[in-house]
Structure 1
């Protein structure tokens, strides 16, 4: 039976899965736009640091005021309405919530939410890729020990890539490369929240809508978000990142199988079984033909002449040898698709992608020359961006992960383009998130990553 049919059955039986959403920003708002249209799902509560902002988001996506007028979790559960609060801890602890969605994008908050979900035995969907990359293997282990589902968020590119990888492997194909598209130029690494909008072309009316956070959007532009998402894919799918960061080659949908193959076969990859991000613009700024800016892809290998013949017979584009082929999805709808994760957990007890090892990390790199005494401002900010590297490289460098590079004061200078190391910053060694991260590094050392 399909997941939708099972959701319909839950609705008919009066047993909807009761969902709590933490964070009503862009991703959360997109989920809210669809949540009331899905049978078998009751959005019991929303927690946001600004409840008024959450209410404005609800109104903006079309909810009538009476639909979010509940004054408590219990009232929401009994009336089918939604309770808006600022207390995420109470939401997770509520007996009227079965499944939690973390859409905050804040690493430390995400860690706290997962640990609380484990304590209260609530399934959790992690839109918060920042927290997942920071300590995902440890969080996934704790979730498994607690008997809850810890899942990537469908609609976000990592989960969609993991789905393509799973399709390829279940079909018997070796995965040569998997990844996504974005708009990238090398100079974007120096972008700041003050310069970000000039690269996007949004209108003043769009920016005034309340959906657009300059720091978040800058993290997409400066390469940090791409690094985080590819680290999540690496850690979930057993694929490795390039040794010295993503290449971001300019590439359209028709050329994936030609460009994203090993160097020994005429491509740009240092090995098979890797992740990569392709740019929608050439290095001189010209648009790429049939770009995949919003899409995801997987490159596969046909290992026998018979399979390569089948590629050709059924119209799959291949490289000249016929050995490498690619398939892709040209778009992703982020929060609009998040209901798939909710449905998968509610009806099958399965995640839509989940971390299983520490294969890749995202380290903080200086955007400019930084001096002692400066305070790092984290993902999408003015001081650092995130670079994807293998976990063993991060360990060897003793690098500060981008998810913790916020609010730390530098104890020495760090030159532009240099990795920020733990010896370069002052920090609280008793901080819960730092303690968990250090434990994850010990327990999931690269030599033991599976």
Structure 2
């Protein structure tokens, strides 16, 4: 990609890519740790609701205090230092900014910041996958109209999966399935912030000492984050979610092409999904009885692809690829991802070339709020990783057909009627404000990109919910 060479040239010319980071959490801090070591990047500003938290993050990842002592955006630009602020919108409008890194994790904030960035001609690196799944197809279209790049974040699993799918297709291989690994058992769907640490083998005291947020970590465990990330992959690649969502089959790296192939040849994928455009799936690092999977892919990503003919299958064998017993299905995988440490790839691609490292091309996957337990009329939903709902992946057509409430809007809204455990929550089940910007953007996205129904799941789910 020659990105380092191009960045070095920008540094030598005194014309670095100027970056503004919104959100000084774990992902943002990991990016900041590398940004100060990357030639040709200048972090113009860091915006966080707590400027003290931003300063602490910079200190924690090794920034000299003098590097973030500027008193204004203009002073930071002139001195090559970094301004700390709680005014994200002011940062987006600051003169000379090139790329906005949106790392808040708050879907409504992500939408607001992206739209403001497009209006000011800034590229957007959307670390906030929650916002991308809520309205990514529309945001990508708005970015294109503004002549800027809108991108998933390299280092996070969706962008790495999209890259792997793109590689396979670019060399003429048909992708059957792509996804990631995680730690999963069916009981985890009911996990709450009160029970999460036991599943991780931690005490609440250990977690608190490490500054770990129980609701955030619970979203990794209860299936929500997996659903969000696979919806983003589906929308970026054209892979279509299975009618039932995710199965989380136990699977190690050596078994990827055997497990993730069509049912007609002994795999777990519905034939229609595997033989058509391909699909997404998350593999578990645990057997259903809790035993660890041999050579698991808990931290990595993969793509399974099919040989087009006997010659290609023979090449798979000759060059040592692990295949299924037929020799026709093989897989590539990456065992780890480094999240924010790798984010500079996206920033450089956007700032140097105006290109994305994965972005929504259509609306194929959606994540619907699903009751963790019997929910009573009048209860307040608490969103991702909380006590009330988890996110279930669905084909977007089915989500729209049943009127499912997007997980990204299932926070701070009150139920108008009871919802039984395991049932999807619908728009009609909650009291929402149609004037809220995120609601309006989501509704526009649904109207603009509404796909045709693809399965019978919606009818069944709607009947069960009534």
TM-score range (shorter-chain normalised) is over 0.9
Alignment deviations for residues 238-269 of structure 1 (CA, whole Å, 9 cap, x no partner)? 00111011000000000000000010110000
Q: Which residue of 1 aligns with 2:264?
A: 264
Q: Which residue of 2 aligns with 1:420?
A: 425
Tell me how far 1:430 sits from its aligned partner.
1.3
TM-score, normalisation: structure 2: 0.94
Equivalent runs, 1:316-395 vs 2, <5 Å: 316-395=321-400
Q: Distance between the aligned counterparts of 1:206 and 1:372, measured in 2?
A: 33
Partner SS state of residue 166, structure 2: helix
1:447 and 2:452 correspond: yes
Q: Which residue of 2 aligns with 1:404?
A: 409
Partner SS state of residue 433, structure 2: coil
Tell me how far 1:164 sits from its aligned partner.
0.3
Equivalent runs, 1:50-449 vs 2, <5 Å: 50-201=50-201, 207-210=208-211, 212-270=212-270, 271-272=273-274, 273-447=278-452
Tell me how far 1:198 sits from its aligned partner.
2.0
Q: Distance between the aligned counterparts of 1:444 and 1:352, measured in 2?
A: 22
Q: Distance between the aligned counterparts of 1:206 and 1:9, measured in 2?
A: 44
Partner SS state of residue 447, structure 1: coil
Partner SS state of residue 63, structure 2: coil
Q: Which residue of 1 aligns with 2:463?
A: none
Gap runs ≥5 in structure 2? 455-466
Tell me how far 1:205 sits from its aligned partner.
5.9
| Divergent runs of 4+, >6 A | none
Q: Distance between the aligned counterparts of 1:84 and 1:108, measured in 2?
A: 22
Q: Distance between the aligned counterparts of 2:279 and 2:123, measured in 1?
A: 30
Q: Distance between the aligned counterparts of 1:283 and 1:390, measured in 2?
A: 25
Q: Are the equivalent residues in 1 in contact too, given 2:73–2:94 (CA < 8 A)? A: yes
Q: Are the equivalent residues in 1 in contact too, given 2:397–2:453 (CA < 8 A)? A: no
Q: Are the equivalent residues in 1 in contact too, given 2:176–2:306 (CA < 8 A)? A: yes
Partner SS state of residue 452, structure 2: helix
Alignment deviations for residues 131-190 of structure 1 (CA, whole Å, 9 cap, x no partner)? 000011111111111111000100000000000000000010000000000000111111
Q: Are the equivalent residues in 2 in contact too, given 1:73–1:96 (CA < 8 A)? A: no
Q: Distance between the aligned counterparts of 1:374 and 1:420, measured in 2?
A: 12
Partner SS state of residue 446, structure 1: coil
Tell me how far 1:436 sits from its aligned partner.
1.1
Q: Which residue of 2 aligns with 1:27?
A: 27
Gap runs ≥5 in structure 1? none
Partner SS state of residue 45, structure 1: strand
TM-score, normalisation: structure 1: 0.98
Q: Distance between the aligned counterparts of 1:50 and 1:382, measured in 2?
A: 26
Q: Are the equivalent residues in 2 in contact too, given 1:21–1:100 (CA < 8 A)? A: yes
Partner SS state of residue 258, structure 1: helix
Q: What is the root-mean-square deviation in Å for CA atoms of aligned residues? A: 1.3
